[in-house]
Structure 1
Amino acid sequence: MPTLPLSLAVITHNEADNIARCLDSVPFAAEKLVVDSGSDDATVAIAQAHGARVVQQDWLGFGAQRNFATTQCSHDWILVLDADEYLTPELAAELQQRLPQLMASDAPAAWLRRSTIYMGAPMRWYRPAVGERLARLYHRERARWTDARVHESLRFDGIAPTLRAPFNHVNNPTLVHKQLKVLRYSELKCRDWLERGKPVRMWQTPFVYALAFLKDYLFRLACLDGWRGFIIAHTAASYAAYKRLRYYEMRHNPESVARAAHILTHHGIDR
């Protein structure tokens, strides 16, 4: 298949189950770059076997890790995917058709739509899991990732087109994976809050849970996805509440920051 002057950039840590599918879904990328943060499974070997150049970099946080990956790419236009994401054939075909014109323009980036596979099947109604719009394709001199430890976003000025076909996200193969991710993401977010000196407002916690659940379950239509929708709304609301509980603990028992980091690292959750 003809290649285009595009770098696919993927950040990884122990993604042996996912990385091949991700890399193989972008056959037209002239470069496939994997920035790995010390995987102890077969991630690196599999990535190399599927045509990727692997660079090792200790974990910097999501935003900083993506910005580092940007500096390692050989091409100005970069497509970013997570290891558990992959292009659909429809999006791959659309990108091949539209990329030459996009690359010749002054556009800073392009929006892609993401569909989520949850508990083994696509979500049909839950709004964030059906056609969620994300900026994942960009010119590295016209866009930059925020430096947030978690929930980073791509920042740019100007108008960016939106592609029609979606890419897929295999969201947490089990609820166990989801809960481990909640622990990790909460810890990263709370460290950001701690650095900024965010006030502790524990009284908000029960309201945060209730409002987050109602937002996802009713207003974002998770209720139409049956029990899977209930579960996804509950886990999202629990995450919103747990972050505040953990931040309260960090502020009132600063020793817990180091102790939690130790136990999370020991179990391979933190990096």
Structure 2
Amino acid sequence: MSIPEQLPITLIVITRNEAATLAQCLDSVPFVADKLVVDCGSTDATCEIAAAHGARVVVQDWLGFGPQRNFATSHARHDWILTLDADEQLTPELAAELYARLPALMRSDTAGAILRRKTLYMGKPMRWYRPMKAERIARLYHRQRARWTDARVHEALRFSGPVATFDQPFIHHHNPTLVHKHLKILRYTELKTYDWLERGKPAPLWSCPFIFIAIFLKDYFLRLAFLDGARGYVVAQIAATQAVYRRLRYFELQQNPHSRELAHKLLRQHGIEP
């Protein structure tokens, strides 16, 4: 892709131990004038790779996904921001579309834009499962017209103005193994249940069998996972299991608050920051 001039945009990536994928993420966005990596304590070569691929590195202890993204936004050099996870990258087609359309969009009163994310699962694209085929996700915004919610996990970008949509997808390299996926589930469950505790959310255990059935059927049939064959079954099974485990862990925290400290210690032994 030929880049006559870079655009006044900041690319933000929040990281912890992302050495395996960070370089391809940063290199897939050649047209931005500023690349910022906000790291929360990597013990691998993440920070060195970020610097080698043209990014500034700011170190910040983990605040939760929403607060961490808002912190990163405050350190951007430009008002327009594109944010990616380290295991994501722009396709050449999306990079070209963004470069062509962004100058006009940035002169308008648009608050941000929706991108489409295509997921590689077990090494291959999911062809039918809706959340992984062409998920619509907010990743481009003007920081005076949008803000991330303060949720510890499953944060969302809230816009205060018109929103554009781009057609070409970017790529998400899903967890490389099911082991990685289950470690991620453990982390996300801790964050989500802490939010539930603060809100006093009810999550009765008697609902768990019904939750499992509802989530499995929704993902397997309504979201078309069954059309992706055995991989679709795995996706639906894990989604339903995760929903039940989240409620079991929430119940445990209510019964034994001390388990939070014990869980933190164990997760950190495995390099996971809750």
Do they fold alike, i.e. is TM over 0.5?
A: yes
Deviation (angstroms), 1:251: 0.5
Aligned residues: 271
- Equivalent AA in structure 1 for residue 40 of structure 2: S
3-state SS of 2:108 partner: coil
- Equivalent AA in structure 1 for residue 92 of structure 2: P
Within 5 Å, which residues of 2 pair with 1:44-193? 44-193=47-196
List runs of 5+ in structure 1 lacking aligned partners: none
Report the counterpart of residue 26 of structure 1 in structure 2.
Answer: 29
3-state SS of 2:181 partner: helix
3-state SS of 1:161 partner: strand
- Equivalent AA in structure 2 for residue 14 of structure 1: N
List runs of 5+ in structure 2 lacking aligned partners: none
Deviation (angstroms), 1:255: 1.4
Identity of matched residues, % = 65
Deviation (angstroms), 1:201: 1.0
1:265 aligns with 2:258: no
| TM-score normalised by length of structure 2 | 0.98
Report the counterpart of residue 253 of structure 2 in structure 1.
Answer: 250
3-state SS of 2:54 partner: coil
- Equivalent AA in structure 2 for residue 217 of structure 1: Y
Report the counterpart of residue 35 of structure 1 in structure 2.
Answer: 38
Separation in structure 2 between the aligned mates of residue 125 and residue 159 of structure 1, nearest angstrom: 30
Deviation (angstroms), 1:261: 1.2
Q: Which is further off, 199-208 or 115-124?
A: 199-208
1:221 aligns with 2:224: yes
Separation in structure 1 between the aligned mates of residue 203 and residue 158 of structure 2, nearest angstrom: 28
Deviation (angstroms), 1:194: 0.8
CA deviations 1:169-224 (Å, max 9, x no partner) are 00100000000000000010001111111123111111111110100000100000
CA deviations 1:139-177 (Å, max 9, x no partner) are 000000001000000001232111000000001000000
Report the counterpart of residue 241 of structure 2 in structure 1.
Answer: 238
Separation in structure 2 between the aligned mates of residue 211 and residue 270 of structure 1, nearest angstrom: 30
3-state SS of 2:134 partner: strand
Separation in structure 2 between the aligned mates of residue 200 and residue 91 of structure 1, nearest angstrom: 41
| TM-score normalised by length of structure 1 | 0.99
Separation in structure 2 between the aligned mates of residue 100 and residue 132 of structure 1, nearest angstrom: 25
CA RMSD of aligned residues (A): 0.8
Separation in structure 1 between the aligned mates of residue 168 and residue 94 of structure 2, nearest angstrom: 5
